């Protein structure tokens, strides 16, 4: 206790805490809040009351955190059940209740839907579920993303165009659909070519879209690594080295792997792509209505020629 420590009664402490007198009295009785009795009256030191406030808020934060992770686990369990049962309505309800409880679209896609899909993919790879179950689950997930896409439209400033797509032979288009939505959420106009795009079509799009700030090649399956390499070299030949071309997706291990395929940038997941785009010095188009408006500053220089470890990771 310091000499000038204030002494408070239970009534005064209850005013400071915004709690009922009896509630504070119970804190004192169970020794959660330090107090001493002087001539039958409880006295609470201001410094003890401050300590109590800090410990209460730490406990609340901890409880909140564990209930958040418990909720996420519950969503995973329920969504998994709905996807394998092909219950599209139930699956949508799970995601809607997550949104109603405050989850943002980034969380819904990356922390709820994606891990459940990965779990289903792993069960298939271990031979625990039939491929038909995975296909059914994917069909439901595709419908979910279609329904949720409209929540990823961001009004206001348009930051520039981003072109994404998968190389020939790549069939994982759902990853691109979610990626595109998340980039839109951050103000980018996204042209999604979808999976399995022939190199010449990819090149055509990259050469004709105005105000393009970056190109993202998505590779999920090891089977399409070779065609990704071909695509990256065609893109480089056609568009030069002014425009950053990234490669990403779950088949790309790291920046070295990306470099070995011929990409000049690598980003880890959708969040890495968002960070990468944020790091570019782009000039927003003068008109927000016309996404094909010419950029004021012309095409952007790639920030670096070669991918580096941790490049926008």
Residue of 35, 117, 144, 231 that binds ligand B12 (CB under 6 A):
117
CB nearer to ligand B12: give 216 or 285.
Answer: 216
16/110 with CB nearer ligand B12: 110
Q: How far is the CB of 66 from ligand B12 (least distance, A)?
A: 26
Half-sphere exposure of 141 (CA within 13 A, CB side): 30
Of 34-42, 89-97, 200-208, 269-277, the segment contacting ligand B12 by CB under 6 A is 269-277
Q: Which of 118, 146, 292, 297 binds ligand B12 (CB under 6 A)?
A: 118
Phi/psi-derived region of residue 99, left when phi > 0, alpha when psi is between -120 and 50, beta in every other case: alpha
Please pick, from the candidates 43, 56, 138, 283, the single residue that binds ligand B12 as defined by CB under 6 A. 138
Do the Cβ atoms of 68 and 53 come closer than 8 Å?
Answer: no
For residue 127, state whether it binds ligand B12 (rule: CB under 6 A): no
211-230 positions binding ligand B12, by CB under 6 A: 216-218, 220-224
Put residue 39 in one of left, alpha, beta given phi > 0 → left and psi -120 to 50 → alpha.
left
Asked if residue 121 binds ligand B12 (CB under 6 A), the reply is yes
Cβ proximity to ligand B12: between 29 and 135 the closer is 135
Smallest distance from ligand B12 to CB 293, Å: 25
Report the interhelical angle of 114-125 vs 131-148 (nearest 10°): 170
Question: Distance between CA atoms of 79 and 119, rounded to whole angstroms?
Answer: 11
Nearer to ligand B12, 12 or 106 (CB): 106
Within 162-221, the residues that bind ligand B12 by CB under 6 A are: 169-175, 178-179, 216-218, 220-221
Say how far apart CA 166 and CA 192 lie, in whole Å.
9
Q: How far is CA 135 from CA 37, 42, 84, 86, 95, in A?
A: 70, 68, 9, 10, 20
**Rounded Cα–Cα distance for residues 115 and 235 (Å):** 32
Enumerate binding residues for ligand B12 (CB under 6 A): 110, 114, 117-118, 120-122, 125, 134-135, 138, 142, 169-175, 178-179, 216-218, 220-224, 246-251, 267, 269-270, 272-273
């Amino acid at each position: 206790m310091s000499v000038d420590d204030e002494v408070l009664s239970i009534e005064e402490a209850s005013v400071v805490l915004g709690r009922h007198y009896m509630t504070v009295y119970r804190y004192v009785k169970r020794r959660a809040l330090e107090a001493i009795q002087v001539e039958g009256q409880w006295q609470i030191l201001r410094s003890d009351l401050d300590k109590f406030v800090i410990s209460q808020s730490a406990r609340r934060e901890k409880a909140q955190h564990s209930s958040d992770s418990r909720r996420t686990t519950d969503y995973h369990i329920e969504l998994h059940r709905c996807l394998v049962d092909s219950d599209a309505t139930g699956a949508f309800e799970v995601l809607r209740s997550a949104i109603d409880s405050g989850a943002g679209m980034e969380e819904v896609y990356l922390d709820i839907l994606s891990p459940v899909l990965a779990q289903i993919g792993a069960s298939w790879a271990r031979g625990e579920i039939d491929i038909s179950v995975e296909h059914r689950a994917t069909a439901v997930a595709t419908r979910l993303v279609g329904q949720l896409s409209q929540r990823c439209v961001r009004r206001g400033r348009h930051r520039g165009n981003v072109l994404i797509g998968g190389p020939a032979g790549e069939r994982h288009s759902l990853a691109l659909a979610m990626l595109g939505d998340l980039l839109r959420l951050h103000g980018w106009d996204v042209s999604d070519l979808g999976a399995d795009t022939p190199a010449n079509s990819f090149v055509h799009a990259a050469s004709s879209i105005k105000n393009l700030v970056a190109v993202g090649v998505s590779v999920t399956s090891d089977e399409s690594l070779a065609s990704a390499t071909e695509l990256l070299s065609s893109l480089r030949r056609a568009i030069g080295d002014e425009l950053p071309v990234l490669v990403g997706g779950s088949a790309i291990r790291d920046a070295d792997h990306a470099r070995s395929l011929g990409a000049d940038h690598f980003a880890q997941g959708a969040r890495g792509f968002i960070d990468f785009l944020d790091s570019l010095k782009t000039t927003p188009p003068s008109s927000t209505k016309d996404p094909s408006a010419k950029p004021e500053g012309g095409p952007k220089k790639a920030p670096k020629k070669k991918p580096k470890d941790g490049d926008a990771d």
